[in-house]
Amino acid sequence: MTRTRPLVLTTLAASLLWLSGCNGNAANGTATQDAASPQATAADTGAAPAADAIEGLPFASTAVATFNEPWAIGFLPDGSVLVTEKSGVLKHVTLPGGEVREISGVPAVAYTGQGGLGDVKPHPQFAQNGIVYLSFAEEGEGGRGAAVARGRLDLEAGALQDVSVVWRQVPKVDGAGHYGHRIAFDGDGKLWISSGERQKFDPSQNMQSNLGKVVRLNDDGSVPDDNPFAGKGEVASQVWSLGHRNPLGIAFDAQGRLWNSEMGPAGGDELNLVKRGANYGYPIVSNGDHYDGREIPDHDTRPEFEKPAITWTPVISPSSLAFYSGTLFPAWTGNAFIGGLSGQALVRVEIDGDSAREAERFPMGGRIRDVAQGPDGALYVIEDGKDGRLIRLAPRAG
Ligand SMILES: [Ca+2]
Ligand SMILES: [Ca+2]
């Protein structure tokens, strides 16, 4: 068994990277550091494209472009990529050139707290229909909630057209946290959405609400009649699984099984194999506890709830989840990758049947907001915050 690297060492390594980055910038006289973005500035990366974007990794890292609070990466079949910015901006990026263009027609978003423009995913038949899905936080009666809209991307016009909302969190509540709102498609073209509990706890167990759930829909937002709670109410019929907290990662493995990563409270981050109709226990059980110190019983006290395949304490703050199906990193085919916010890392996870283990943790020197596999078989990550970079990870040549 490879042991998980203790967090303190990861943090130390990240600090050393940060320091070395400072020195490098100071040496060439372009140092503009802030806490959210300890790496080189866009001008630096443009001036030295061959240099590693992140030092100390066992593979090459190349900065492609820089964004303002990027949130999600959505690859298109032609190898270009859409990137969302939390403030409500959608950008199209060519690869490998890294030319960035803003796309108009994005719905108005509630940009505050953890909310704003969220995930972006093309329809599985994007090459034929040009449809793109966006998730975002919106204002409405009762407060705020996540929504998912779809529209047709006209790349020549640089515009999203015929935009319509296909799903909403119910009910809208006050606050601006735990939207979740990652999007995935399965091999049958079904639309899957991870819905956070909006920091309201009990809705995760309430089937009159779709908060704290994973939902499964047809691509137009209608409800499939073979969902596990079909016929048990308008909201319940959307639900695939319940008892989730803030599921910021959702992805299918090569066998077509759904997994999700979710933020625990104080401790207890989770990777779950998401099963039909299953209850993942929040807020009744968690291997973490409430931030105010009140205990939440651990998963093993209540075997009727599905246990996580991996639980992390100290936390990594999983932002994102992707399965690697490429061959550019042949040793990693079938592995899961999780971006860590507080962990400032990319976590490699090996899957064995229904179980999973952390196999490796790469210190990224900053908070990682999303991870995705490109059509070229490279891994791409995006950094969190102001001046967050889109970075391509690939084996070193030779
Ligand atoms: Ca759980
Ligand atoms: Ca606990």
Would the pLDDT of 44 be above 80? no
Residue 316 structural domain = 11-395
Q: What is the pLDDT of residues 254-290, one digit of tens each?
A: 999 999 999 999 999 999 999 999 999 999 999 999 9
Phi and psi angles of residue 207, each rounded to the nearest 5 degrees, phi first: -80, 0
Q: What is the pLDDT of residues 67-102, one digit of tens each?
A: 999 999 999 999 999 999 999 999 999 999 999 999
What's the number of domains the chain is made of? 1
Q: How confident is the model at residue 50 (pLDDT cuts 50, 70, 90)?
A: low
Phi and psi angles of residue 186, each rounded to the nearest 5 degrees, phi first: -95, 180
**% helix, strand, coil for the chain, step of 5:** 10, 40, 50
Q: What is the pLDDT of residues 375-396, one digit of tens each?
A: 999 999 999 999 999 999 999 9
Q: Annotate 353-383 with b (16+ C-beta within 10 A) or e (fewer).
A: eeebebbbbbbbbbbbbbbbbbeebbbbbbb
Q: How confident is the model at residue 51 (pLDDT cuts 50, 70, 90)?
A: confident
**CA 274 to ligand 2 center in whole angstroms:** 21
Is the pTM higher than 0.75? The answer reads yes
The CATH number covering residue 349 comes to 2.120.10.30
Q: Identify whether 2 is part of a domain.
A: no
CB 157, CB 145: distance < 8 Å: no
Ligand nearest to the CA of 289: 2
- Segment 2-25 shows an average pLDDT of 37
Q: What is the CA radius of gyration of the chain?
A: 20
The helix (H) or strand (E) run that includes residue 320 is strand 318-323
Q: What is the pLDDT of residues 115-141, one digit of tens each?
A: 999 999 999 999 999 999 999 999 999
Q: Identify whether 3 is part of a domain.
A: no
d(CA 338, CA 322): 7
With the CA atoms of 295, 301, 306 and 307 taken in that order, what torsion angle do they form, in degrees rounded to the nearest 10?
Answer: 70
**CA 294 to ligand 2 center in whole angstroms:** 9
In 3D, which of 190, 90, 200 has the Cα closest to residue 135?
90
- What's the confidence (pLDDT) of residue 45? 47
Give the strand order in the sheet containing 60-67.
60-67, 388-394, 379-383, 368-373
Q: Identify whether 311 is part of a domain.
A: yes
Residue ranges with CB less than 5 Å from ion ligand 1: 280-281
Ligand nearest to the CA of 313: 2
